[in-house]
Structure 1
Amino acid sequence: MATRTMIGSDETEDVTLNFGEEHEPKKTLRHPVAVFFHLCFRVLAILAYWLCGWFSNSYIVIFVIVVFLLSMDFWTVKNVTGRLLVGLRWWNQVDEDGTSKWIFENRKVASGSVIESQIFWLSQVVTIILWVVFLLGSLLMWNLTWIMVTGVGITMNASNLYGYIRCKIGAGTNMSSAASSFLGKQVLQSMFTSQTQNEATSSTYH
């Protein structure tokens, strides 16, 4: 059962920011195909931008390829992998009177596993960081033609990340503090999990 937070209407319900805690503590991939396509298009877009000089000298061709891959990634994450891996969904709804509403849904019991949740969120953040690095590189070299490409990459990935964070936190929570809390929590959780596994391995050998 999904809980909704509707922006632009009186029907709101805040959702606690518990990234990955709603999943069963299993490390298996329940949706390997969804995980593959969640990573596939964004990785291909980054590689196409990074290695573009090896394949073509045409800016138009490279621009079309990168934007196409970014568009496929945006659609896949927004409409498929977010729902399957973390139980979240967001979209814009226009009522008959022309009123536009942003709807953010959070399924309390998600179908994905812990590892799928971590892959989903960390890949979102890491991808944006990479595109920001590419943007800074374009600015430093004053390569104005590539600034547009990196801007599209940042915009599309940031839109999905923003939408899914809103699904998690609801309408009334500070976005910047929630995002910082999320990233720190994921890093600490990964470190704790690795340390626990190492201790378990050591005790087994003893």
Structure 2
Amino acid sequence: MRTSFSCSSIEQKIVKCIKTEVNHKRHCFSIILKHPVAVFFHTVFRTGALVAFFFCGWFSSSFITNFVIIIILLCMDFWTVKNVSGRLLVGLRWWNYVDEDGKSHWVFESRKRGSQHKVTAVESRIFWLSLVAFEVIWIILFFGALVIFSLKWSMVIIVAAAMNGANLYGYIRCKWGSRNKLKSAATNFFSAQLLKSVSNIFAGIVHMICMEIEEQALFESAAL
């Protein structure tokens, strides 16, 4: 009886120590990453778009199919970064609205320092490094596409760089522009043109795809 009692007490102590260690690790992880879900989705869509850009040709030879998949991932990333991860990870947000006179206004906001929701250093680094690193990657890929004269893929890269660059520029304005209260006509015009260029690029690519579909249809009809 004594032996069984001592063994059970030892087992209870071991289980208690394990639970304490697990709870301690969870607590440390929660301190480092207060918003792990936001961090995950902040990186997963942009990473998926980059992976699809490199490897989609292995699974489909259709440029249109690959284009649609990459654009969907880029749009999901743009929406997530603009509306969710920027607010949660770094306490910044930006948006656009049109007033009654039809004028477009750009708003850049940053969370006050005295706010209860503090930004962790790790989440902030992940946020900014992800934005900057992927912008650099897309720019490098753009020059690579120019070297090999790949017009189709260069247009896809321009869309990716423009969408990520729009978020990067918007959050830079939120972080530094709001502190210094610098609102010049030149910067406002640049931000408007940068963000509006995304829609223009989409229109050009859609037109190019439609032309390619028509050419393929004419070729198939001529072959028959």
Instruction: Judge conservation of contact 1:83–1:89 (CA < 8 Å) in 2.
Output: yes
- The alpha-carbon deviation at position 95 of structure 1 amounts to 1.2
Give the one of 40, 43, 52 matched to 2:44: 40
Check 1:151–1:114 CA distance in 2 against 1; reply closer, same or farther (3 A cut): same
Higher RCO (CA < 8 A, seq sep 6+): 1
Check 1:27–1:115 CA distance in 2 against 1; reply closer, same or farther (3 A cut): farther
| Residue in 2 that maps onto 1:94 | 98
- The alpha-carbon deviation at position 112 of structure 1 amounts to 3.0
Give the one of 74, 77, 84 matched to 1:80: 84
Give the counterpart letter for 1:88 in structure 2. Answer: L
| Length-normalised TM-score, structure 1 | 0.69
Instruction: Judge conservation of contact 1:135–1:151 (CA < 8 Å) in 2.
Output: yes
Give the one of 165, 168, 174 matched to 1:161: 168
| Residue in 2 that maps onto 1:134 | 141
Query: Is residue 168 of structure 2 the alignment partner of residue 150 of structure 1?
Result: no
Question: Which structure would you say has the larger Rg?
Answer: 2
- For residues 1-206 of structure 1, what are the structure 2 equivalents within 5 Å? 28-109=32-113, 110-170=117-177, 171-172=181-182
Distance 2:71 2:133 in 1: 18
Distance 2:31 2:67 in 1: 38
SS in 2 for 1:36: helix
Distance 2:78 2:109 in 1: 18
| Residue in 2 that maps onto 1:10 | none
Check 1:126–1:89 CA distance in 2 against 1; reply closer, same or farther (3 A cut): same
| Residue in 1 that maps onto 2:219 | none
1:176-204 Cα shifts (integer Å, max 9, x gaps):
xxxxxxxxxxxxxxxxxxxxxxxxxxxxx
Which structure dedicates a bigger proportion of its chain to helix? 2
Instruction: Judge conservation of contact 1:139–1:147 (CA < 8 Å) in 2.
Output: yes
Identical pairs, percent? 56
Distance 1:118 1:33 in 2: 16
SS in 2 for 1:84: helix
Q: Which sections of structure 2, spanning at least 5 residues, go unmatched?
A: 1-29, 188-224
- The alpha-carbon deviation at position 173 of structure 1 amounts to 8.0
- The alpha-carbon deviation at position 86 of structure 1 amounts to 0.3
Q: Which sections of structure 1, spanning at least 5 residues, go unmatched?
A: 1-25, 176-206
- The alpha-carbon deviation at position 52 of structure 1 amounts to 1.8
1:73-123 Cα shifts (integer Å, max 9, x gaps):
000000000000000000011111222210001002354311000000000
Distance 2:59 2:119 in 1: 37
Distance 1:76 1:27 in 2: 23
- The alpha-carbon deviation at position 30 of structure 1 amounts to 0.3
Backbone CA RMSD of aligned residues: 1.8
SS in 2 for 1:51: helix
SS in 1 for 2:57: helix
Instruction: Give the paired residue count.
Output: 150
Distance 1:28 1:79 in 2: 22
Give the counterpart letter for 1:172 in structure 2. Answer: L
